[in-house]
Amino acid sequence: MKRKKNNVSISSSNKKTKSRDSELAQFLSPVGISLRQDRHCSSSDIDTIVRELSVKLLDTQARDNFFIMLQDYIDEVENLKVAMLPLVKEDSTTHFNSDSLIKILLRVPSISEQLTELLLEKLPLVAEDRTCNIAALTVSQLRWMNSLSYDVIITKLNEVLPVCPLPVQKEMISGLPEILPDEKHEEACELLLDHISTLDLVPCILETLSELSLSHKMLDKVHEAVEVQLCALSADSVPAALRFLLSTAPPDKAVSSIRQHIDFQSLCKSGEGMEAEELSMECLEQVLRFHNKIQKCWLSLLHSSSSLSVFDLLVYLILYRVNNKPKTVLSSIRFHLKEGTFNASLVQDLYRNHAKTAALFNSEQLKIAHSLLLSFPEHSLPSLLYLSVFTHGDLHAQQEVVGSLISHIGSGQSKEVDSGIRTLGLIKDSTDKSVDRFSSLLNGLLDYLNTLSIPQAREVLYLLVRISSAGSCRTVDDIHIITRKYLSHSSTKLRKLGIIGSCSLVQALSVESTDKAKTFISKVQESLSRAPELEALFYDELASCVGNGCVDRETVQLIYDTYVDKFQSDFVSREPVDSTSQVCDILCLEGADTLENDETGHISINLWNCVEAENPTQLMVLCPLLRLVGTSLAILENSMEDIDSILGCYIRALPLDDIVTCERSTVGLLALINLVIEQINVFHVERRPSMRNKLVKRIKLLQELLGLLRKVPVVDDMVPMVFDLAEDLGTSKSKKGQSSKSTLNDSAADVSKDMSLFDPTKTGTMKTSTQLDKSENDVEAGAVAVTKPKKHVSSWSSGVKFRGFIRELDIRTMAILNLSIESTLQSNESSAQSEVEPMSLGLPETCMMLEDLLSKCKFKLKPASVFSKPENSLGFSRVASLSETKFTQQILSILPALCQTMEDNVSQPKETSSDSQETSQNQSAMNSTLEEIAMLEDNPFGVKTFELVFSILELVFSWSGFATNSQISTECFSILASRTQNQTQGPLSVRRKHALHYLLNFEKSCQSFSSTINLLKCCSVISDSKDQRISDICKSCLQREWDITEDEKENKVRFNEGVGYLVRTFLSHSSENQGDLLDLLVEQLDVVVKKDEDVEKIFPTFTRATLPTIYKIVLTKLVEYQKSISSDKENGLDILTNCVGNFANLITYIKIIESRPLLRSALLYGQKFLESFLAIGLPLLSPMISDNYVEVQSILKKIQTSTRQLHHATTHSKSLKDIALTARVPLLKKFLEAFLLKVKAIFAHHGCTDAFWVGNLKQRNLKGEEIVSQQVEEEEEEEGDVDDLSELSIDTDDEDNNSRAAPDDENSDSMSIGY
């Protein structure tokens, strides 16, 4: 029964609805509207229908009844949809106008408001219907209607939008500009701002806001609301935000907001939102392409930025594409590259998270990389750009990269060629076989071989061989052809290129067949039989090829069997004992028990026969052949047991005391040194204690021999040991009229500049007055300055002038430094056994090895700012063949030994000074006590060790790849942290902190000024923030009295630079107020300059000699401190007062001391200080004139005295006719004039024109004396004609103008500015 009742009720409601529908149809039929099921029809025009309906609905009851019928009718979704469709003509299926039934009814004034509310209330109810977009139809009904109640629409939307689905919300929001008139746009804006926190609606809201007509005040409010939401935007919303801000906000504000709040790196992690990111870039490109103002503003902000992000890098690429002058964009990129803000980590981040987006700008990246490589060929960033484009680009981009690198290699510019080869090798190493597909294109590099240097050609040939190993036989054939051609050529350089090509072919042929390699080696050997230098180069090249593991093991065995017999037959013999001969056997090492020594003689290397023969053939070939034999054996057995007699045998030569006085002393000494060096290179892999002891003795002998080089001259018949030069180094084949002395000096000029003689008396140590008065003649006569005589110290610096004639000590031999650790462990184990007691290196030998390592680090490890002149590669051919990463790993392998050496030296001063217990053990040896000076003289190597180790560590830390290579940096910090017995686990920042703590512990053990400076440099590099401990060390060093050798000008320059570094580091790392520190420094400078006895002298290092260096640094820091007002406006007035006072004080120094360096610094930094004062200081003072007039006037009067003195300085510079000083005058005078005009404008703006007066300033020199010359008078007349301001004379007093006759009076109550 219930079911029947329900059916009855439903049927009754349907009947009621149908009856009302029929009533609505009957109501609309007289006015010409026929309701149908699928589409309503009209028989009259729209205006007639609206007019008749308006008349019929004037009655309230009729209107209410009609609205009820209409409401019941559109409750059905289908009816509502049909009611919103355009009407059609009677008896037709096409509509003749665009108005629907709802739109017609909305034009009826009496029901328009009610119908609008009804439609908006229906939106949440009908939104689920997916058959038709009701929201879009509703918007179309309300669009462009003039008779609507807009307040009702805004109010109702505010109620309905939160409960509507997201698609309906977007439809309604996007339709607002076409629904509401302009006067209602700001109300609509308020409505939209209420919903902008809904992130999904942000793109739609921003697009709608950009179409509204808003006032400037409302736009500012909108921009603030949008900036708040920028950080939370999703990747899909970024394009709309970019388009809105750039099209509506001022360019500078829009760019700043975008750069500050949008972080693409966090938006697109794990590949999310990559399509949206590409859309953002396209949007940004469209905006920038057609808006030059935004381009200029964005480029200006990027150029002045102190750091760059990945987004900034993408913007740079867009600007380079759309800018009409891409050179301006490239100039800004170069600037950031110099500053270090555009670095490798930025490029790596770009391709790590945005590779797909970066690929859109491959052509721009290639152009930028090409230009940067031309400008900075030594920098690694262009190579990284090429590598990134090749790795992530398509085939076309890879071909463009290879073609560009080939053009670089064939350019003929040495640095550009080196960078191109390095980049191509990096691509080969990183991309495995991707570059092999371009082998036919790379074969074109063979056409440029004769234009390359020998090291460059070596890298190209070996690179081509590596590429050919992937299956390109054509490359090997081409190299074979060109090698045979060069070997038969008459040119020395081309024959050397043929030798290098031959060694590369040995590497390629050994993979195919050992017989082919054997045949080829024999043919090459025959062609070089009459050319000892080329034969030596062949042995060296072949040894390098074997040592790199590039040759098959069977081929290596063949090479060893062939050349070990040759070495024994040519150089090793059994010499009889001849007591009457002047030539004797030296270097008879203990432990050579395997050698027979009887009446028939003993095994030896007769070196002196080679020297006296005056034939360089055997001397040239000896060491390279020994290297080839030793390298081959090391590859085969990893031991030198088969040839260990070479290390322990005798060497036939003159006694060491006579070798420097004989006729061929230089040649004989160099030959002996080269043989010892090559023995060390070959046998450094030995692990047997007896052989290790022999090796230590060889090193001790090498240290002694290098000291003898000081006593021999440079002669013409020296035998060269560097064979990979384009021309011969010796005079036997030098050009006519040119000696080997001049050739050698030219080739080693750059090296000798950077190498200092290793003498502990030149390290900045303390000397007494007695020592300083002693001359060299007194010392030779036996006069002694201290309790013990000086020890002569030898080093590699003795052989700088012989760099091309001495063999290179291999970097791998630095592992010998670990002997100091190993020997200690082995001595404990062997003390109870009858084994050979292990020997260890002494401090002199350690210093020798460290000095050689330091020279290699200076050559190989380029700092982050690699824009300094590179060192000459002469003598570093083996190091040059290593990558920077492998070289650094070799240093890290001996880092524990370096630390152990320093730790051992810490305890030595305590042992040597045990007799003087009254002196503090922590006190440095720089104090003026004879006991400590004697200790320092007695152990000079301990002092030098710290200096060398810290210099090496500084170069490693400053290397551009140290920060980017996390493996190396982590390993290095872990080794240093482990020395403090701290945990070596944890993040890199923790390990860095422990490493810094370990190094700072050596501060009190550094016994020289140089070692202390090197320690601070080393610690400053790895300190990632301000460190008060470093600042305290700098301050204590500044408070110490350091003395240097009086007769060494070079030492004085280094000392002055060191003091400047201490001041700079003290200011940058101190946590105290910067203004107080500057006050302290200026006060101490006053003591030096003005000799104020009332002030205590805290820093003895502040002298007249160090004044120019410190003066420049303090002025620089003053300019920086004044610029900090922008970030600290609350204390702006105090900062400005401090800066102006100190600046005025510093400028007076040029009047007291006549010093060209001081004058140059005053002109340069005076201009910079005035520039920042005009940009920051005056805008800060201008609003304060009304409230703090006295303070403002005091600041301006102080700076006025400085500008007057600077004006005198410009006149003085012109009178001196100093070009360097005069060049800085125009820009300085420009800011002096600008200062005058702006101060006048500020006082005029505040109605204080009587507060100062402007008059002519007489031409005076620095002493204040008037300069009278026709030339200066003419200049004054010309300046007066140009600017009438020079004739202004305004005063606050009501006295005569005679009171203004003394513009130089500083005590006047008025502001007087001379021009």
Give the contacts of 1167 (CB within 8 A, at least 6 positions apart): 1224, 1227, 1228, 1231
- Check residue 747 and give its pLDDT: 41
- Whether residue 366 is predicted with pLDDT greater than 90 in this model: the reply is yes
- Check residue 20 and give its pLDDT: 53
Angle at alpha carbon of residue 288, lines to 285 and 293, rounded to 5°:
170
Least Cα distance to 504 among 522, 519, 483 occurs for: 483
- Whether residue 906 is predicted with pLDDT greater than 70 in this model: the reply is yes
- Whether residue 769 is predicted with pLDDT greater than 70 in this model: the reply is no
- Whether residue 1010 is predicted with pLDDT greater than 60 in this model: the reply is yes
Q: Who has greater pLDDT, 936 or 127?
A: 127
- Whether residue 911 is predicted with pLDDT greater than 70 in this model: the reply is no
Q: Which of 91-100, 796-805, 1094-1103 has the lowest mean pLDDT?
A: 91-100
Q: Residue 245: helix, strand or coil by DSSP?
A: helix
Alpha-carbon dihedral sign for residues 88, 91, 92, 97: negative
- Check residue 409 and give its pLDDT: 92
- Check residue 1045 and give its pLDDT: 52
Other beta carbons within 10 angstroms of residue 704's beta carbon come to 15
- Check residue 1268 and give its pLDDT: 61
What is the spatial distance between Cα 1023 and Cα 256, in angstroms, rounded to a whole number? 31
Task: Report pLDDT digits (tens) over 285-326.
Answer: 888 888 888 899 889 888 888 888 888 899 999 999 998 888
Task: Report pLDDT digits (tens) over 1205-1246.
Answer: 888 888 888 877 878 888 888 888 888 888 888 888 887 777
pLDDT band at 565 (very low <50, low <70, confident <90, very high): confident
Mean pLDDT calculated for residue range 1016-1023:
89
**196 and 234 Cβ atoms separated by less than 8 Å:** no
Give the contacts of 236 (CB within 8 A, at least 6 positions apart): 203, 273, 276
- Whether residue 730 is predicted with pLDDT greater than 70 in this model: the reply is no
- Whether residue 984 is predicted with pLDDT greater than 70 in this model: the reply is no
Q: Who has greater pLDDT, 936 or 229?
A: 229
* First CA to last CA distance, the chain: 113
Task: Report pLDDT digits (tens) over 597-631.
Answer: 444 456 778 777 777 766 667 788 888 999 998 88
CA of residue 138 relative to chain centroid, distance: 59
Q: Who has greater pLDDT, 1246 or 522?
A: 522
What is the spatial distance between Cα 1212 and Cα 1214, in angstroms, rounded to a whole number? 5
- Check residue 307 and give its pLDDT: 84
- Whether residue 929 is predicted with pLDDT greater than 70 in this model: the reply is no
Task: Report pLDDT digits (tens) over 21-51.
Answer: 677 777 777 777 777 777 778 777 777 887 8
- Check residue 1113 and give its pLDDT: 93
- Check residue 1043 and give its pLDDT: 66
pLDDT band at 1270 (very low <50, low <70, confident <90, very high): very low
Instruction: Write out the two tokens for 552.
Output: 């098959």
Q: Which of 132-146, 307-321, 739-753, 894-908 has the lowest mean pLDDT?
A: 739-753
Task: Report pLDDT digits (tens) over 231-255.
Answer: 777 777 778 888 888 888 888 888 8
**At 1175, phi and psi to the nearest 5?**
-85, -30
Angle at alpha carbon of residue 97, lines to 96 and 100, rounded to 5°:
120
**1084 and 1058 Cβ atoms separated by less than 8 Å:** no
- Check residue 107 and give its pLDDT: 80
Q: Which of 505-509, 738-742, 836-840, 1208-1212 has the lowest mean pLDDT?
A: 738-742
- Check residue 1277 and give its pLDDT: 43
Task: Report pLDDT digits (tens) over 190-224.
Answer: 888 887 777 778 888 888 888 888 888 888 888 88
Other beta carbons within 10 angstroms of residue 385's beta carbon come to 23
Q: Who has greater pLDDT, 796 or 435?
A: 435
- Whether residue 713 is predicted with pLDDT greater than 50 in this model: the reply is yes
* Tokens 């939307």 found at: 157
Q: Which of 443-457, 467-481, 935-949 has the lowest mean pLDDT?
A: 935-949
Q: Give the helix/strand (H/E) hosting 851.
A: helix 843-860
Least Cα distance to 1119 among 1099, 1144, 1139 occurs for: 1139
Q: Which of 35-49, 70-84, 868-882 has the lowest mean pLDDT?
A: 868-882
Least Cα distance to 1115 among 1075, 1164, 1068 occurs for: 1164
What is the spatial distance between Cα 460 and Cα 465, in angstroms, rounded to a whole number? 9
The DSSP bridge pattern shows strands 572-575 and 584-586 to be unpaired
Q: Which of 497-506, 784-793, 1152-1161 has the lowest mean pLDDT?
A: 784-793
Mean pLDDT calculated for residue range 1037-1060:
74
CA of residue 752 relative to chain centroid, distance: 28
Task: State the chain's mean pLDDT as an integer.
Answer: 75
DSSP code at position 100: B
Residue ranges in 308-453 assigned as alpha helix (H): 310-322, 326-339, 344-353, 355-358, 362-375, 381-392, 395-409, 414-431, 439-442
DSSP code at position 1246: T
What is the four-CA torsion angle of 123, 124, 130, 136, rounded to 10 degrees?
30
